[in-house]
């Protein structure tokens, strides 16, 4: 390309003028394209000058008005909260839609919301809800029995003609249908005892049953990507949804049907909330420090301390539901040996894990469910979830696992290898697994960590016990029936239990009972029985830690509510006048 | 009748072949356009095949991984039918190819938005960012090359010629974080994210321009040096031209030509850089769209974006191939003589 030019001079001379023209033309095109594009990108947004905060003065106590800027990690995948599978989807869904019931975050009790009262039949296959009569959607249409039926039917069954997936099917298993009894009474029926549905009717996490107006239900998935088409009864109304960038919601002034269990009724204090999607952790932290956002979610564990030291407030709540678990598969070698499973429960130090992977916002795993779920039983202390490396070694030796040349135990020529798989869905996962890996190596177990990306994780879920021995994950759902969903071999089968496993029938019977009663005393009894089997009797579950959702907020931000699943509600949130 | 038809066809084909054979320019055009079309088709097919040899069942990717176990039986069939995953692969392929030819890549799985709309909405943002970054990169590259060539101090020349490789080897991600730390979080001169106002463009453009300027500067420095050593420069010098006159009048022009050949590399850098830049600065754009589509394996969206990028690559290479004979008389001469245009595809 750079060889010296030895063409006749006149050919170069001829080429020159043309070349100049071409360059000029190219430059012109570039300039025009850039100019047009710049105009397009910088065109003023309709309400740009309104974003300046116009807060009402107030000496003390809550202040009305203002725009709250919130930085979050995950994208808001769609304005339709019934179809959103991420954390951000759930939070925004909770502020634009309401649910039938409200679960008290502290007591776990299910209390009225859009349903004033309810009753259920003897075998808990039918629920009858009496609805509030003063609730309207933001398009002015009433909330009534017909709306509940239309929502639940589409939520569970989907609508192929509108490209709506059956998003709620995994959450309302056995749903038969909803009957309109009268204008404000519905009866929801199931083909099996469904005690967990009562909590399900309050569900605030992924793919939540938040009510949408009939006009929205008639829209296709594509039409619902226009946020103005997604109409709820919630305290905020969609204003803007820019995929992967931000979502803006504004206050609904006539909102007056908050859960009665919450002290304050009425509309939101804030005029507007801007959810900024900031995927990079250091950008979230930096944006909070520089005042570009008022609060951030998904604070990295290492940033919590420095932010707190600089006057930012760290607020957190356990994402109630299962613990962050490590399930051991009894259908795979070498975890088919109960002594190996017990040794993995005993062989690692919770204190090291806490020091290396967690902040004060997280708590130790002490059972198959977190300690905020009613029915939780503590297996730490002197229980099977203690740190006892000597006992772990004894159990391994009892089973014939002898120390091998590289420190990893061997039996009949096979190394004691545990092949794990999991996904990075909450901040401390990898560090926690690495801490366990170190401790288990000390007692002669080679714990192999495989934290997989989304699609590979889905594939691994299908392979399960044919390729792996252990799965780490969690499930936010603040009801003891979450154990049935997670571990029942006829449902999710999170420990990959096959028909041949000695505890198969025992587990099916015990876990199913969690769906068969709503009597608190009975449920507590069945809850203990189920946890006893999972942790003690069959040693299928190792509790790593209890996952939390952590917010860092500027000192002038007040009253961000964490609900029973640790998702946020902003109706009571207010900003101090600065 | 069929015989007559086939003979018409044969005659048509034969005349086409003659045209291509007799007219080297026609042959050149057919070859280059054909190659561009082939690249786009091959990309589409490759992405389709990859989705089928992919470890996961496409239906599993539609649901919460934790709840995959509950998606079975009728529910699974319903989901498969909604997205057409229940049909035989060849039928799905032809169906999707047919739709793709009309620009329809289906709907995004996560948002339900048509892939075409999702791309059309974000593309202008990326084009603006990329155009500004390219402009900035060209300025940086030319400044470096001119500086390195014009200076008579060896240490300064060494320093300047080492800068492009540094620009290429520092990851964009680190550049972005560094710029943010200094100019957004410490001094507060520019916002860390957002898309309103020119100030939000400064840091992303700088982040994207840096790695793009590297290869351009490297190439320019090399060809400036080569051209400076060429005999026509000696002639110019002998005629009494100043160093500046030689640089701007002779070297600049002749050395710019090879820069066209790395248009493809530059475009690739811009695309790769935009993924990181748009993600870190939380900007709307095709790069960010790609990042989320891949991380959630939004199959139709991934396919749409990949084909778009392939089409843009093919178009750029085609444009370079077609422009080159116009710019370089040597190739024009060889085309006119009917021999292979050797320099064009280098």
The topology under which CATH files domain A324-546 is Dipeptide-binding Protein; domain 3 (3.10.105)
Contact A2 B222 (CB under 8 A): yes
Q: Residue A475: closest CA among chain B residues belongs to which residue? A: B66
Q: A207: which chain B residues are within 8 Å (Cβ-Cβ)?
A: 64
Question: Domain map of chain A by residue range?
Answer: 39-45+60-317+550-575, 324-546
Strand stretches in A230-378, DSSP E? 236-242, 246-251, 272-277, 295-297, 313-318, 324-328, 363-364
| Residue of A7, A244, A286 lying closest to B181 (CB–CB) | A286
* Residue B325 placed within a domain: yes
Confirm if B325 and B332 have CB atoms less than 8 A apart.
yes
pLDDT at B20: 62
Cβ A130 vs Cβ A118: under 8 Å: yes
Rounded to the nearest 10 degrees, the angle between the axes of helix B299-327 and helix A9-42 is 150
User: Based on the domain organization, do B220 and B186 belong to the same domain?
Assistant: yes
For residue B223, cis peptide bond before it (omega within 30 degrees of 0): no
More confidently predicted of B334 and A304: A304
Residues B176 and B307 in one domain: yes
d(C-alpha A206, C-alpha A159), whole Å: 19
Q: How many helices (H) and strands (E) does chain A have?
A: 15, 27
Instruction: Identify the DSSP state of A271.
Output: S
Cα–Cα distance, A218 to A214 (Å, whole number): 6
| pLDDT score recorded for residue B211 | 86
Show residues of chain A in contact with B60, CB under 8 Å.
Answer: 458-459, 461-462
Q: Where do we find the tokens 């799965």?
A: A471
Residues of A in contact with B54 (CB under 8 A): 455, 459
Measured distance CA(A62)–CA(A556) in Å, rounded: 11
Contact present, A113 and A102 (Cβ < 8 Å): yes
Q: What is the pLDDT of residue B342?
A: 43
C-alpha to C-alpha distance for A85 and B24, rounded to whole angstroms: 57
Do the domains spanning A39-45+60-317+550-575 and A324-546 agree at the CATH topology level? no
Q: What CA–CA distance (Å, rounded) separates A450 from A457?
A: 9
Summarize pLDDT for A157-174 with one digit per residue, the tens. Answer: 999 899 898 888 888 989
Query: Among B78, B102, B126, where does a domain finish?
Result: B102
| pLDDT band for position B234 (cuts 50, 70, 90) | confident
Rg (CA), chain A: 28
Q: What is the pLDDT of residue A64?
A: 94
pLDDT digits (tens, 9 = 90+) for B170-180: 888 888 999 99
Contact (CB<8Å) B132/A38: yes
Out of B63, B185, B195, name the one closest to residue A290 (CB): B185
Residue A290: list chain B partners with CB under 8 A: 184-185, 188, 192
**Per-range mean pLDDT, top range of A528-537, B75-84, B144-153, B256-265:** A528-537
Determine the residue among A280, A450, A463 to mutate to test chain B binding: the one whose Cβ has the most chain B Cβ atoms within 10 Å: A280
- Flag whether B326 is in a domain: yes
Range of the domain at B219: 115-337
Spatial distance between the Cα atoms of A170 and A199, rounded to a whole number of angstroms? 14
Last residue of a domain, one of B69, B102, B135: B102
Strands A402-403 and A409-411: antiparallel
Pair B328, B216 in one domain: yes
Report the pLDDT value the prediction gives residue A5, as an integer from 0 to 100: 36
Report the distance separating Cα B221 and Cα B223, nearest Å.
6
Are B82 and B132 found together in one domain? no
User: Does some domain include residue B10?
Assistant: no
Query: So what's the pLDDT on residue B343?
Result: 43
Going by C-alpha positions, the residue among B335, B337, B336 that lies closest to residue B32 is B335
Residues in chain A: 578
Which of B75, B102, B129 is at the close of a domain?
Answer: B102
The pLDDT confidence band at residue A372, using thresholds 50, 70 and 90, is very high
Residues B96 and B159 in one domain: no
Task: List, as ranges, residues 66-85 from A with C-beta within 8 Å of B.
Answer: 75, 77-78, 80, 83, 85
Average of per-residue pLDDT across B32-39? 89
The tally of domains found in chain B comes to 2
Distance from CA of B11 to the nearest CA of A (A): 39
Q: Which residues contact A474 (CB under 8 A, 6 or more apart)?
A: A319, A321, A322, A323, A324, A325, A425, A426, A547
Architecture, CATH, for domain A39-45+60-317+550-575: 3-Layer(aba) Sandwich (3.40)
Closest CA to A86 of A425, A320, A489: A425
Of A14, A77, A491, which is closest to B110 when you measure between CB atoms? A77
Residue B237 has phi, psi (to 5 degrees) of -65, -45
Both tokens assigned to A486: 């997670």
Rounded Cα distance between B305 and A484, Å, is 41
**pLDDT at res. B69:** 60
The answer to whether B125 contacts A41, with C-beta atoms less than 8 Å apart, is yes
Residue A13 pLDDT level (bands cut at 50, 70, 90)? very low
Residues B158 and B255 in one domain: yes
Residue A180 has pLDDT above 50, yes or no: yes
Give the β-pairing of A446-448 and A417-423: parallel
**Looking at per-residue confidence, does B97 or A12 come out higher?**
B97
Task: State yes or no: ipTM above 0.90.
Answer: no
Do B215 and B262 meet the contact criterion of CB atoms below 8 Å apart?
yes
Residues B37 and B141 occupy one common structural domain: no
Do B82 and A165 make contact, defined as CB atoms within 8 angstroms? Answer: yes
Q: Which two tokens stand for residue A351?
A: 């204190």
Return the closest-CA partner of residue A207 out of A39, A368, A43, A89: A89
- On whether residue B127 sits in a domain, the answer given is yes
Q: Beta partners for B114?
A: B107
In this prediction, residues A342-359 reach a mean pLDDT of 94
Tokens of A2: 């750079």
Question: For residue A459, what are the CA distances in angstroms to A465, A470, B59, B66, B86?
Answer: 12, 15, 11, 12, 18
Q: What is the CA radius of gyration of chain B?
A: 26
Any CB–CB contact under 8 A between A263 and chain B? no
Alpha helices in A43-166 (DSSP H): 87-96, 145-157
> pLDDT digit string (tens) for A477-526?
999 999 998 999 888 889 999 999 999 999 999 999 999 999 999 999 99
B42 plus B162 within the same structural domain: no
What is the CA angle A88-A91-A95, rounded to 5? 135
Q: Which of A37-46, A231-240, B252-261 comes out lowest in average pLDDT?
A: A37-46
**HSE (CB half, 13 Å, CA atoms) of A385?**
26
The residues, ordered by sequence, that sit 6+ positions from A373 with a Cβ below 8 Å of its Cβ are A108, A320, A321, A478, A479, A480, A482
- Each residue of A523-573: pLDDT tens digit? 999 999 999 999 999 999 999 999 999 999 999 999 999 999 999 999 999
* pLDDT surpasses 90 at A411: yes
Both B274 and B171 in one domain: the answer is yes
Task: Report DSSP letters for A504-570, one per residue.
Answer: HHHHHHHHHGGGS---HHHHHHHHHHHHIIIIIIS--EEEEEE-EEEEEE-TTEE-PEE-TTS-EE-
Cα gap A284→B192, rounded to integer Å: 9
In a domain, residue B12? The reply is no
pLDDT bin (cut points 50, 70, 90) of residue A50 is very low
- Residue A129, strand partner residues: A118, A186
Q: Would you say residue A101 has pLDDT above 90? A: yes
Same domain (yes/no): B206, B87: no
Contact B110, B294 (CB under 8 A): no
Q: Of A85, A221, A290, which has the smallest distance from its Cβ to B112's Cβ?
A: A221
Residues B92 and B205 in one domain: no
HEC assignment per residue over chain B: CHHHHHHHHHHHHHHHHHHHHHCHHHHHHHHHHHHHHHHHHHHHHHHHHHHHHCCCCCCHHHCCHHHHHHCCHHHHHHHHHHCCCCCCHHHHHHHHHHHHHCCCCCECCCCCCEHHHHHHHHHHHHHHHHHHHHHHHHHHHHHHHHHHHHCCCHHHHHHHHHHHHHHHHCCHHHHHHHHHHHHHHHCCCCCCCCCCCCHHHHHHHHHHHHHHHHHHHHHHHHHHHHHHCCHHHHHHHHCCCCHHHHHHHHHHHHHHHHHHHHHHHHHHHHHHHHHHHHHHCCCCCHHHHHHHHHHCCCHHHHHHHHHHHHHHHHHHHHHHHHHHHHHCHHHHHHHHHCCCCCCCCC
Cα of A84 to nearest chain B Cα, Å: 8
- Note the pLDDT tens digit of each residue in B288-339: 998 888 877 788 888 899 898 888 888 888 888 887 777 777 777 776 665 5
pLDDT at A280: 87
Q: If you average pLDDT over every residue of chain A, what do you get?
A: 88
Nearest chain B Cα to A39, which residue? B128
pLDDT > 60? residue A227? yes
Q: Are residues A30 and B128 in contact, defined by beta-carbon separation less than 8 angstroms? A: no
**The two three-digit tokens of residue A154, written as one number:** 């589409």
Structure confidence at residue A3 as a pLDDT band (50, 70, 90) = very low
Q: What is the DSSP letter of A44?
A: P
A135 closest CA partner among A114, A111, A152, A151: A114
Chain A's closest residue to B228, CA to CA, is A4
Residues 378-437, chain A: which have Cβ within 8 Å of B? 423
Q: Tell me the β-bridge partners of A322.
A: A369
CA distance A453 to A451: 7
Non-local (6+) Cβ contacts of A35 within 8 A are none
pLDDT of residue B108: 84
Instruction: Report whether A302 contacts A566 (CB < 8 A).
Output: no
Neighbours of A380 (CB within 10 A): 16
CATH number (domain holding residue B148): 1.10.3720.10
Tokens representing A564 are 């029973």
Here the tokens at position A132 are: 């509030």
Strand residue runs (E) in A9-107:
67-72, 101-103
Q: In chain A, pLDDT over 70 holds for what percent of residues?
A: 89
Selection from A125, A197, A118 nearest residue A481 by Cα: A197
Beta strand pairing call for A548-553 and A313-318: antiparallel
């Amino acid at each position: 390309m750079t060889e010296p030019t030895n063409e006749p001079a006149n050919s170069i001379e001829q080429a020159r003028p043309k070349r100049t023209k071409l360059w000029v033309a190219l430059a012109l095109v570039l300039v025009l394209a850039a100019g047009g594009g710049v105009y397009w990108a910088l065109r003023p947004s309709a309400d740009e000058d309104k974003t300046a905060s116009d807060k009402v003065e107030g000496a003390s106590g809550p202040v009305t008005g203002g725009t709250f800027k919130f930085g979050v990690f995950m994208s808001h995948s769609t304005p339709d909260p019934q179809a959103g599978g991420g954390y951000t989807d759930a939070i925004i869904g909770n502020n634009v839609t309401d649910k039938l019931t409200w679960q008290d975050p502290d007591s776990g009790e299910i209390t009225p919301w859009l349903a004033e009262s309810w009753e259920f039949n003897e075998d808990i296959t039918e629920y009858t809800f009496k609805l509030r009569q003063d609730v309207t959607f933001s398009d002015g249409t009433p909330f009534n029995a017909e709306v509940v039926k239309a929502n639940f039917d589409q939520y569970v069954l989907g609508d192929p003609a509108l490209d709506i997936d059956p998003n709620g099917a995994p959450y309302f298993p056995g749903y038969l249908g909803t009957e309109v009894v009268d204008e404000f009474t519905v009866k929801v029926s199931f083909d099996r005892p469904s005690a967990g549905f009562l909590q399900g009717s309050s569900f605030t996490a992924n793919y939540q049953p938040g009510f949408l107006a009939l006009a929205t239900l008639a829209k296709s998935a594509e039409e619902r990507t226009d946020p103005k088409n997604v109409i709820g009864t919630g305290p905020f109304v969609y204003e803007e949804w820019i995929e992967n960038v931000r979502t803006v919601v504004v206050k609904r002034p006539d909102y007056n049907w908050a859960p009665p269990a919450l002290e304050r009724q009425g509309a939101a204090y804030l005029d507007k909330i801007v959810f900024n999607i900031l995927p990079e952790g250091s950008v979230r932290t930096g944006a909070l420090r520089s005042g570009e956002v008022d609060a951030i979610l998904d604070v990295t564990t290492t940033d919590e301390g420095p932010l707190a030291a600089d006057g930012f407030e760290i607020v957190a709540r356990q994402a109630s539901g299962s613990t962050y678990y490590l399930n051991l598969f009894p259908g795979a070698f070498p975890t088919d040996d109960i002594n190996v499973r017990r040794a993995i429960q005993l062989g690692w130090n919770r204190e090291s894990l806490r020091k290396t992977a967690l902040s004060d916002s997280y708590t130790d795993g002490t059972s198959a469910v977190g300690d905020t779920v009613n029915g939780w039983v503590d297996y730490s202390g002197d229980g099977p979830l203690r740190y006892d490396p000597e006992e772990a070694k004894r159990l391994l030796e009892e089973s014939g696992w002898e120390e091998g040349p590289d420190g990893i135990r061997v039996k009949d020529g096979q190394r004691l290898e545990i092949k794990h798989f999991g996904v990075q869905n909450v901040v401390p996962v990898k560090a926690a697994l690495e801490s366990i890996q170190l401790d288990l190596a000390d007692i002669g177990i080679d714990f192999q960590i495989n934290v997989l990306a989304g699609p590979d994780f889905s594939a691994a879920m299908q392979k399960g016990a044919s390729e792996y021995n252990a799965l780490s994950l969690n499930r936010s759902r603040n009801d003891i029936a979450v154990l049935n969903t997670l571990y029942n071999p006829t449902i999710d089968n999170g420990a990959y239990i096959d028909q041949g496993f000695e505890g198969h029938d025992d587990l099916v019977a015990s876990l199913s009972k969690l769906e068969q009663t709503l009597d608190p005393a009975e449920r507590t009894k069945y809850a203990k029985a189920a946890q006893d089997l999972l942790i003690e009797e069959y040693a299928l579950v190792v509790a790593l830690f209890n996952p939390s959702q952590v917010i860092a907020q500027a000192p002038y931000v007040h009253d961000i509510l964490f609900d029973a699943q640790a998702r946020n509600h902003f109706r009571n949130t207010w900003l101090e006048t600065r | 009748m069929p015989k007559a038809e086939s003979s018409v066809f044969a005659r048509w084909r034969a005349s086409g072949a003659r045209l291509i054979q007799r007219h080297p320019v026609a042959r050149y055009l057919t070859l280059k356009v054909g190659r561009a079309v082939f690249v786009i088709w091959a990309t589409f097919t490759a992405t389709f095949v990859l989705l089928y040899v992919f470890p996961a069942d496409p239906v599993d990717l539609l649901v919460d991984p934790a709840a995959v176990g509950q998606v079975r039986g009728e529910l699974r069939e319903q989901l498969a039918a909604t997205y057409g995953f229940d049909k035989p692969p060849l039928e799905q392929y032809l169906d999707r190819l047919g739709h793709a030819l009309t620009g329809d890549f289906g709907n995004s799985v996560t948002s339900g938005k048509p892939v075409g709309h999702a791309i059309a909405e974000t593309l202008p943002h990326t084009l603006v960012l990329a155009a500004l970054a390219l402009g900035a990169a060209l300025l940086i590259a030319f400044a470096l090359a001119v500086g390195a060539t014009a200076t008579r101090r060896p240490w300064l020349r060494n320093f300047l010629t080492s800068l492009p490789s540094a620009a290429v080897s520092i990851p964009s991600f680190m550049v972005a974080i560094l710029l943010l730390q200094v100019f957004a979080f410490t001094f507060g001169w520019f916002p860390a994210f957002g898309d309103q106002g020119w100030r939000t463009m400064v840091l992303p453009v700088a982040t994207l321009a840096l790695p793009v300027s590297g290869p351009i500067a490297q190439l320019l420095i090399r060809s400036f040096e080569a051209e400076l050593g060429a005999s026509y420069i000696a002639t110019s010098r002998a005629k009494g031209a100043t160093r500046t006159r030689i640089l701007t009048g002779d070297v600049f022009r002749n050395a710019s030509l090879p820069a066209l050949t790395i248009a493809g590399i530059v475009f690739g850098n811009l695309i790769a850089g935009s993924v990181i830049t748009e993600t870190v600065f939380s900007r709307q754009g095709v790069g960010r769209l790609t990042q989320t589509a891949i991380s959630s394996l939004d199959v139709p969206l991934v396919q749409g974006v990949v084909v778009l990028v392939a089409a843009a690559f093919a178009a750029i290479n085609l444009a370079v191939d077609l422009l080159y004979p116009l710019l370089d008389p040597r190739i024009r001469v060889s085309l006119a003589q009917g021999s292979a245009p050797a320099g064009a595809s280098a």
